[in-house]
Amino acid sequence: MPRALMQFVRLIDLMNKGVGRVAMYGIFAMMAVLLYSSISKSFFNPSLWTLEVAQFLMVAYFILGGPYSIQLGSNVRMDLFYGSWSVRTKAMVDSVSVLCLLFYLGILFQGAMVSMAYSLGYFGTEPYAFYWDLLTAFLTGGPDAAGEMLGYLERSSTAWRPFLWPVKLVLIAGVFLMLLQVLAELIRDIDHLISGKEDT
């Protein structure tokens, strides 16, 4: 396998390991918010924001921890036959299933990008052109110029009514990192098939 590809795999592994290790602590942040919610409901006035913040934290915990879970091989799989296969057979089956996963993640990423554009007030059919124009406006005119391009920012329909673009941005980042990790796994599987490695 070319050295550049193996360096790419190592870089992706290192990046997703770092993000995943940080995301692991999101569970404690979510627990703290839910604990505060229980205390405030029992002794004070109930808070409007706690349930929704806990949901947003759960999304971040799940989607940013996903690539690290794939890297560790701790994602759910049917292990009835898989566990007894050789490394080469596993790599062959994984390389086929990874292609299906890449297709699914590509569709998910496209949907997340469209949804993010909608949450920023863009209702057209070319979200990537909108992002390019937004980036160009930001680089040439600063935050004010970029802000002028935004439309009505989407808000949640709850009483607290937070903006939805931050959680959608986390979704885009998580799906993108997952795409990169799955691509790294595919490269690793192809390396096993080419080299004929049978080690673990």
* Structure confidence at residue 35 (pLDDT): 93
Domain annotation covers residue 166: yes
- Taking each continuous run of H as one helix and of E as one strand, the counts in the chain are 7, 0
Over the range 128-162, which residues count as b (16 or more CB within 10 Å of their CB) and which as e? eebeeebeebeeeeeeeebeebeeeebeeeeeeee
Neighbours of 166 (CB within 10 A): 12
183: nearest Cα among 106, 112, 86: 106
Would you say 177 and 67 are in contact if contact means Cβ atoms under 8 Å apart?
yes
* Structure confidence at residue 138 (pLDDT): 93
Domain annotation covers residue 200: no
Would you say 147 and 137 are in contact if contact means Cβ atoms under 8 Å apart?
no
Rounded Cα gap, residues 66 and 37, in angstroms: 27
Distances from the Cα of 172 to the Cα of 42, 117, 175, angstroms: 37, 11, 5
Higher pLDDT, 113 or 4: 113
* Structure confidence at residue 36 (pLDDT): 92
5: nearest Cα among 176, 41, 13, 101: 13
Instruction: Quote the mean pLDDT of the chain.
Output: 88
CB proximity list for 185: less than 8 A, separation 6 or greater: 70, 71, 94, 98
Domain annotation covers residue 68: yes
H or E element that contains 169:
helix 165-195
C-alpha torsion angle, residues 158, 162, 23, 135 (rounded to 10): 140
Range of the domain at 133: 3-195
CB proximity list for 27: less than 8 A, separation 6 or greater: 61
Domain annotation covers residue 32: yes
pLDDT in tens, 91-111: 788 788 888 889 999 999 999
Overall average pLDDT of the 122-146 stretch:
92
Domain annotation covers residue 80: yes
23: its two tokens: 């995301």
Would you say 69 and 23 are in contact if contact means Cβ atoms under 8 Å apart?
no
State how many domains the chain has.
1
* Structure confidence at residue 18 (pLDDT): 95
pLDDT in tens, 30-67: 999 999 999 988 888 878 898 899 999 999 999 999 99
84: its two tokens: 């007894």
Domain annotation covers residue 22: yes
pLDDT in tens, 139-178: 999 999 999 989 889 999 888 899 999 999 999 999 999 9
* Structure confidence at residue 196 (pLDDT): 63
Domain annotation covers residue 140: yes
